[in-house]
Amino acid sequence: MTKRNPDYDFKWCPGCGDFGVVRAFEIALADRAERLNEPIENTVVVAGIGCSGNLVHLQDGPQPFGIHGIHGRSLPIAFGVKAGRPELNVVVVAGDGDFLSIGGEHIGPQARRNLDITAVVMDNGIYGLTKGQASPTSLVGQVTTTTPAGKLDEPVNPLELYLASGVPHITSAISSRPKDVAAFIGAAMDFRGFSIVHIKSPCTYFNDTYAALKGDPKRGVEPVAYPLPDDHDATDYMAALEHARHGRVPVGELYRKPDGVPMQDRLRAASERSMVKERGVDEMLAVLVV
């Protein structure tokens, strides 16, 4: 519960990785507002359903607009907002279940369209809000409430999926570094085109992966997460694919397609070419009034 939304009675569990993400998002929004001299209300947050989506209610400070949509449909809603109001900064916040399971089919079409929005995906490898069912990123053999004898199917590799789907800007992160995550979200919002910041954000209650992500150097346990090397060339698709595929969690800007044309540019050009005259909101409403 925040001071801004005292009526909203929702709490994240102590230690939830999403706290790092909400802090990062607050920093990124404040920084953007200052840098571009843009009111925070110019940003619209479209939230998926899940603990992660509740981020939209748990922000402190000046509030962006928020739409808490329906499970899995954050991208189509964001598409509608951006198509209607291209000047707005549209950000999706969603979980691994929301974005990659029920919502998974929307990634490819929006990537091909190059929808100019940023998706912040909080991947805890579980359905957190509904109390611990297996998600697309839960590991094979993982015991969850829906897989009591261990999950049978292989997990999806989100970074590989985004690359194969043609997402032109992909960043991989971990929630325990909010300042880094803030910089990643800021750069993703600046990118003209479809941008995904995929953040490993542990669920302390149903899938606590903090130890694995950070490792335990004293006991010789290598961290799963590692920073992308300084010489990583984000415009090199094959280099990005290699980092996506080797089973660990790279941290940093993984891929950037430099010459993509965002949906807005194509839409504007098509509208100029078409014979249909663009109508303002007043004109459209006037048609409905008898």
Ligand X SMILES: Cc1ncc(C[n+]2csc(CCOP(=O)(O)OP(=O)(O)O)c2C)c(N)n1
Residues contributing to the site for ligand X (CB under 6 A): 48-52, 71, 95-98, 122, 124, 126-130, 135
Interaction between residue 96 and Mg ion (CB under 5 A) = yes
Indicate the residue among 114 and 144 with the shorter CB distance to ligand X.
Answer: 144
CB of 41 to ligand X, least distance (A): 26
Question: What is the per-residue binding string for Mg ion in 125-164, x denoting contact by CB under 5 A?
Answer: ---x------------------------------------
CB of 71 to ligand X, least distance (A): 3
CB of 53 to ligand X, least distance (A): 7
List Cβ<8 Å contacts ≥24 apart for 222-230: 224/248, 224/249, 225/174, 225/200, 225/249, 225/250, 225/251, 226/250, 226/251, 227/251, 227/252, 228/172, 228/252, 228/253, 228/254
Indicate the residue among 114 and 207 with the shorter CB distance to ligand X.
Answer: 207
Distance from chain centroid for Cα 145: 25
Alpha-carbon dihedral 132, 221, 233, 107, rounded to 10 degrees: -10
Interaction between residue 202 and Mg ion (CB under 5 A) = no
CB of 280 to ligand X, least distance (A): 35
Residues 6+ apart with CB under 8 A from 157: 244, 245
CB of 230 to ligand X, least distance (A): 32
Interaction between residue 95 and Mg ion (CB under 5 A) = yes
> Reading across the β-sheet that carries 249-256, which strands appear in turn?
65-68, 43-47, 89-95, 118-123, 195-200, 169-174, 249-256, 225-227
Q: How many whole angstroms separate alpha carbon 136 and alpha carbon 125?
A: 7
From Mg ion, ligand X, none, interface partner of 198 (C-beta below 5 to 8 A by class): none
CB of 135 to Mg ion, least distance (A): 5
Interaction between residue 178 and Mg ion (CB under 5 A) = no
Q: Can you count the helices (H) and strands (E) in the chain? A: 10, 8
Indicate the residue among 181 and 183 with the shorter CB distance to Mg ion.
Answer: 181
Residues 6+ apart with CB under 8 A from 281: none
Interaction between residue 124 and Mg ion (CB under 5 A) = yes
Indicate the residue among 33 and 249 with the shorter CB distance to ligand X.
Answer: 249
- Name the 3-class secondary structure at 122: strand
From ligand X, Mg ion, none, interface partner of 49 (C-beta below 5 to 8 A by class): ligand X
Q: Among candidates 201, 200, 161, 195, which has minimal Cα distance to 92?
A: 195
Interaction between residue 53 and Mg ion (CB under 5 A) = no
Give the other-Cβ count within 10 Å of 186's Cβ: 20
From ligand X, Mg ion, none, interface partner of 20 (C-beta below 5 to 8 A by class): none
CB of 109 to ligand X, least distance (A): 19
Binding site for Mg ion (CB under 5 A): 95-97, 124, 128
